[in-house]
Amino acid sequence: MTSKYVDHYTEEDNEGNITFTDKELSLTSEGFISLTHDIEELVDKYTGIEESAFMKCSEIRLDLMDVIHNIVNNKKEQD
């Protein structure tokens, strides 16, 4: 299960070499940015104050990332 927002986890070393692993799925950098934007929009919507959440939702984002990673990796195991 790969998408625009979730793909196989990769790591980059100091020399720019990318290590690919098919063991886990993770948010892509685009997914991370999109998740951050979506969370901030939700907070803005419910507070009624534009940009009230800017740089204030990192813990929520990390919790949601854990949920997303668990779901996509458990789904992959079931396939």
Residue with tokens 């790591």: 11
Residue 48 DSSP SS3: coil
70 within 8 A of 64, measured Cβ to Cβ: no
- Tell me what pLDDT residue 48 has: 95
Beta-carbon contacts of 26 under 8 Å, excluding residues fewer than 6 positions away, are: 6, 7, 8, 9, 69
Which phi and psi (to 5°) does residue 18 adopt?
-105, 125
**CA torsion through residues 71, 76, 78, 79, sign:** positive
Please write the tens of the pLDDT for every residue from 4-57: 888 876 667 777 776 666 677 888 889 999 999 999 999 999 999 998 888 888
